[in-house]
Amino acid sequence: MKYDVVIIGAGPAGYVAAIRAGQTGLKTAVVDKAGVGGMCLNWGCIPTKALIESARVYQKVKTAATFGVAGVDKNALSFDFAKAAARASRIVNKLTRGVGFLLEKNGVDRIEGEAEILSPDQVTVNNRLLETRYIIIATGSKPEIPAGSSPSGWTHIQDLLPLTDIPDSVVLAGSGPRTVELAQFFRLIDKTVAIISPEESVLDILDPYLQDFVVRKLKKMKIKVLTGTVSNLVDNSITINGKSIPCGLLINSYQRKALIPENPLGLIAEKGFLPVNQDLETAVPGIYAIGDVNGKSSFAHAASAEGIHVINHIHGIKDKLDFDKIPINMYTTPEIAQIGPSLPELQARGLDIKVSEFPLSANGKAMTEGQSEGFVRILSETRYGEVMSVQMVADHATDMIAEAGALMEIEGTIYDLARVVHAHPTVSEIFMEAGFEAVDKAIHK
């Protein structure tokens, strides 16, 4: 069978690239050994956010009396993990069916199986030869087990939904946004939680100012954060730095490494990932790598953007994918979002930066919702006032950060932001107020 594009992997990178390829007239096949949706849709982004939402509702019901709702005995409440997981699975099934429909609608051939790259224009799947002009590798990544540790006793993210119950003590070994999200989730459902991070910082992807907030928040929630390496789970406990920690569930949340298809072309990982150029093309012309496999970003929205970028590149459309302008979203309590470099990074580039901040505690809508913890922080360069980075800590921050992205995409300034009328009462007013603060002075501060 001959194709214009063969895409290996049907996660957020692969299936979005496949849909866009089909939409733009390319004869396309997408190959995946485990159906569509990848890690994000099946086990990561969507199901974990569904679980987090269930935990938030659980906590919200506990505070019902504060909102004038009588008759709720918070001491009688309990969290049914199996039912929450079943709800998450229903959402996943609906979305995966939707992705399958979109692939079919746009003329994309779906092939189930494990792909092997034979040459720059040949891929084989289940002894079936696919000839193609371009190959896109979107195979994602796999969890790493720490050196010196055996797989026994470890639970991976994809193993969470089948669980029927969660033990009283949970340890997450690793770092990064997803580690913190899950740690808070388990704490919200009344579990004892610890994070064992191999690095001093659990969240080095964030601006240090946001990192400090997270450290304080985890401490306030009584989530232990320790630095070290986990070996194995023995008799429901692990030992870190000479201390024994209760551990009924040990979750592998270490950084993942590229999963690269078999090939004779020298396409191998460097520092855990497949190297690519600015257009996401590998060292072999005509073969691209997008999503987790290239290590540029671990976020699904980045993977999807990379997929669209590559299809545009195949069509000869010159464009630049600016990773500085890809949001970092964390579905924590409260949510955290950042777009743009950190303050130290901007200063290292020789920029003179003004920092402007507005607290969520001064926002009326946040107060009505009982969620007034947080702030918005704008980093702008002093000469023209261009917004270089925006950091948000607030409920709905992961939604609101898109406005900052749109502003930065057009090289907008603090003056542009201050001129945008934001509806009242909305939490988004904090962004406008931070713009006022950057220009001269916020109204409600």
How many whole angstroms separate alpha carbon 185 and alpha carbon 163?
A: 15
Residue given tokens 């494990």 in the structure block = 114
How many whole angstroms separate alpha carbon 24 and alpha carbon 30?
A: 15
CB 414 within 8 A of CB 356: yes
Type of residue at 297:
S
Closest CA to 203 of 235, 236, 178: 178
CB 307 within 8 A of CB 291: yes
Measuring CA to CA, how many Å separate 355 from each of 67, 74, 275, 363, 416?
36, 42, 35, 20, 17
- Joined together, the tokens standing for residue 358 give 């507005």
Residue given tokens 């669209």 in the structure block = 308
CB 108 within 8 A of CB 62: no
Side-chain half-sphere exposure of 56, counting CA atoms within 13 A: 17
- Joined together, the tokens standing for residue 400 give 């609101």
Closest CA to 42 of 158, 165, 154, 177: 158
CB 204 within 8 A of CB 176: no
Considering the candidates 315, 396, 424, 444, report the single residue annotated as catalytic. Answer: 424
Catalytic-residue membership of 424: yes
Neighbours of 219 (CB within 10 A): 11
Closest CA to 98 of 139, 40, 162, 41: 41
Closest CA to 87 of 20, 12, 161, 178: 161
How many whole angstroms separate alpha carbon 326 and alpha carbon 338?
A: 9
**β-sheet bridge partners, residue 5:** 28, 134
- 321's CB contacts (< 8 A; 6+ apart) are 278, 280, 305, 306, 309
How many whole angstroms separate alpha carbon 285 and alpha carbon 288?
A: 8
Task: Give me the active site residues, please.
Answer: 424
